A and B are shown apart, each in its own frame.
Chain A
Amino acid sequence: MSTPWESIVVGVALLGTMAAYALFAGADFGGGIWDLLAGSTERGERPREAIDRSVTPVWEGNQTWIVLGIVFVWTAYPSAFAAIMTSLFIPLSLSLLGILLRGIGFAFRHEAKKLRTQQFAGVLFAASSFLAPFFLGAAVGAVSTGRVRNDHHGDVLSAWVNAVALVTGALFVATCAFVGGMYLIGDSHRRGDEDMAKYFHYRTIGAGVVSAVLAFVNLLLMHGDAPYVFHRLIGPALPFMIVSVAGGAFAFVLVVLRKQFALRIATGVCVVCVVGAWGFAQYPYLLPTSLSLAEGSAPTAALLAEFAVIGLALLFVAPAFVYLYWLQQHERLAVTEESDVLEQAGAAENRLARTAPAPVGLRLATAVVIGVAGVDIAREGLARLRRLRRDRTYGPGIRRPRD
Chain B
Amino acid sequence: MTPLLLAAHDVVPARSQMGASLGFHIIFACFGVAMPTVLLAAHWIGLRRGNATALLLARRWSKVMAVIFAVGAVSGTVLSYELGLLWPGLMGVYGPAFGIPFSIEAIWFFVEAIFTAIYLYGWRKLPPWLHWWTGVPLVISGVLGALSVVAANSWLNQPGGYTMSHGRITSVDPWSVVFNKATPYEVPHMILAAYMVVGFTMAGVYAWGMVRGRRDAYHRLGFLISFATGAIAAPIQVVFGDTVARVIEQQQPQKFAAMELVAKTHSHVTEWLGGFEYHGHVYFGIGVPSFDSILVGYSPSRKIIGWDSVPVQDRAPLPDLIHLAFNVMVAVGVGLVVLAAWQGWVYWFRRTVPNTKWFLIPATFAGLGAIAAMESGWIVTEVGRQPWVVYHVLRTSDAVTTSGGVPVTLVFTIVIYAVLTGVTVFVPMLMGKRWRASTPPPPDDPDDAPRQPPVPLGSEQPVG
Name A's B-contacting residues (CB within 8 A).
56-61, 63-64, 67-68, 70-72, 74-75, 78-79, 81-82, 85-86, 92-93, 96, 99-100, 103-104, 106-108, 111, 113, 152, 298-302, 304-306, 308-309, 312-313, 316-317, 320-321, 323-324, 327, 331-336, 338-342, 344-346, 348-349, 351-360, 363, 381, 384-385, 388-389, 392
Q: Decide: A312 near B104, CB < 8 A? Known: A61-B117, A352-B51, A392-B301.
A: yes
**B211 interface residue per 8 A CB criterion:** no
Given A302-B95, A352-B51, A333-B125 contact (CB < 8 Å): yes
Contact A388 B298 (CB under 8 A): yes
Closest to B54 in A: A345
Return the chain B residue nearest A311 by Cβ: B107
Contact with A along B438-464 (1 / 0, CB 8 A): 000000001000000000011011111
Is B115 an interface residue when CB atoms closer than 8 A count as contact?
A: yes
Q: Is the CB of A352 within 8 A of B70?
A: no
Task: Tell me whether B169 and A356 are in contact (CB under 8 A).
Answer: no
Q: 16 interchain pairs (CB within 8 A)?
A: A63-B113, A64-B110, A68-B106, A74-B95, A78-B96, A96-B74, A111-B427, A299-B168, A320-B114, A327-B122, A333-B122, A334-B124, A345-B52, A349-B51, A351-B50, A352-B463
Tell whether A64 pairs with B51 under 8 Å between CB atoms, given A299-B96, A340-B124, A392-B301: no
Q: Determine the distance from Cα of A159 to Cα of B149 in the docked complex, in whole angstroms.
A: 34
Q: Which residues of A contact B349 (CB under 8 A)?
A: 357
**A384 x B114 contact (CB < 8 A):** no
Q: Which residue on A lies nearest to B128, using beta carbons?
A: A341
Q: Specify which of B71, B106, B431 is in contact with A71 (CB 8 Å cutoff).
A: B106
Could you say which of A96, A107, A152, A335 contacts B77, with CB atoms under 8 Å apart? A96
Residues of B contacting A67 in the complex (Cβ-Cβ under 8 angstroms): 73, 76-77, 106, 109-110
Q: Are the C-beta atoms of A332 and B125 separated by less than 8 Å?
A: yes
By a CB distance below 8 angstroms, the chain B residues around A108 are 427
Cβ-defined contact, A385 with B348, below 8 A: no
B431, A333: Cβ atoms closer than 8 Å: no
Nearest CB to that of A302 among chain B residues?
A: B96
CB of A60 within 8 A of CB of B70, answer yes
Contact partner of B55 (CB less than 8 A), chosen from A92, A313, A341, is A341
A357 to B344: give the CA distance in the assembly, Å: 12
Q: B124–A349 contact, CB under 8 A?
A: no
B23 on the A face (CB < 8 A): no
Which 4 pairs across A and B sit closest by C-beta, in order of nearness? A348-B50, A302-B96, A301-B172, A333-B121
Across-interface contacts of A335 in B (CB, < 8 A): 121
Q: A71-B103, A107-B67 are contacts. A357–B350 as well, Cβ < 8 Å?
A: yes
Q: Is B264 among interface residues, defined by CB-CB distance under 8 A?
A: no
* B97 on interface, CB distance cutoff 8 Å: yes
Q: A309–B121 contact, CB under 8 A?
A: no
Q: Which B residues are in CB contact (< 8 Å) with A348?
A: 50-52
- B411 proximal to A (CB < 8 A): no
> What is the predominant secondary structure among interface residues of chain A facing chain B?
helix
Say which residue of B59, B118, B434 sits within 8 Å of A342 (CB atoms).
B59
A42: min CB distance to chain B, Å? 25
Whether A56 lies near B100 (C-beta < 8 A) is no
11 additional contacts (CB under 8 A) given A74-B102, A302-B172, A321-B110: A61-B113, A93-B412, A298-B99, A302-B97, A312-B104, A321-B114, A332-B125, A349-B50, A357-B350, A359-B462, A385-B299
**Using Cβ atoms and an 8 Å threshold, which residues of chain A touch B84?**
74, 78, 81-82, 85
Q: Is B41 on the interface with A (CB-CB < 8 A)?
A: no
Q: Does B121 lie within 8 Å of A353, measured CB to CB? A: no
| A391 nearest CB neighbor, chain B only | B299
- Shortest distance between the CB of A360 and any CB in chain B (Å): 4
Measuring CB to CB, which residues of chain B are less than 8 angstroms from any residue of chain A? 46-47, 49-53, 55-56, 59, 63, 66-67, 69-71, 73-74, 76-78, 80-81, 84-85, 88, 91-92, 95-97, 99-100, 102-104, 106-107, 109-111, 113-118, 120-126, 128, 131, 137, 162, 168-174, 217, 297-299, 301, 348-351, 403, 412, 423, 427, 430-431, 434, 446, 457-458, 460-464
Among B74, B107, B217, max chain A CB count under 10 A is at B107
Which residues of A have CB within 8 Å of B170?
A: 299, 301
Residue of B nearest to A107 (CB): B67
B126 surroundings in chain A (CB, below 8 A): 327, 332-333
Chain B residue nearest in CB terms to A297: B96
Among A312, A320, A345, A392, point to the contact of B51 (Cβ < 8 A): A345
Closest to B172 in A: A301
Given known pairs A75-B103, A305-B100, A339-B123, the reply for A103 and B299 (CB within 8 Å) is no
CA distance A359 to B348 in the complex (A): 10
Contacts of B46 in A (CB 8 A): 345
Cα A361 to Cα B152 in complex, Å, equals 48
Within the assembled complex, what's the spacing in Å between the Cα atoms of A70 and B91? Answer: 14
Taking CB as reference atom, which chain A residue is nearest B162? A301
Write out the residue numbers on chain B whose beta carbons fall within 8 Å of the beta carbon of A85. Answer: 81, 84-85
Give the complex CA separation of A79 and B96 in angstroms. 12
In the complex, how many angstroms separate the beta carbon of A101 from the nearest chain B beta carbon?
10
* Smallest beta-carbon distance B440→chain A, Å: 12
A222 to chain B, nearest CB (A): 28
Q: Which single residue of chain A is at the shortest CB-CB distance from B445?
A: A354
Q: A301-B170, A320-B114, A345-B50 are in contact. Are A332 and B122 (CB under 8 A)?
A: yes
Given A299-B169, A331-B125: A352 touches B464 (CB 8 Å cut-off): yes
Interface contact B109-A111, CB-CB below 8 Å: no
Known: A332-B126, A334-B125. A57 touches B463 (CB 8 A): no
Neighbouring A residues of B66 by C-beta, 8 Å: 60, 107
- Which residues of A sit under 8 angstroms from B172, Cβ to Cβ? 299, 301-302, 304-305
> In whole angstroms, what is the CA distance A309 to B108 when docked?
10
CA distance A99 to B116 in the complex (A): 17
| Cβ A309 vs Cβ B107 within 8 A | yes
Chain B residues, CB < 8 A from A385: 298-299
Given contacts A349-B53, A354-B446, A356-B463, contact A99 B114 (CB under 8 A): no
With a 10 A CB-CB cut-off, give which of B76, B84, B299, B427 has the most chain A CB atoms: B84
Known interface pairs A96-B74, A103-B71, A342-B59. Does A356 touch B102 (Cβ–Cβ under 8 Å)?
no
- Contact between chains at B114 and A356 (CB < 8 Å): no
Contacts of A340 in B (CB 8 A): 124
A364 to chain B, nearest CB (A): 10
Contact B169 A302 (CB under 8 A): yes
Return chain A residues, CB-CB under 8 Å to B106: 67-68, 70-71, 309
| A324 and B128 within 8 A (CB) | no
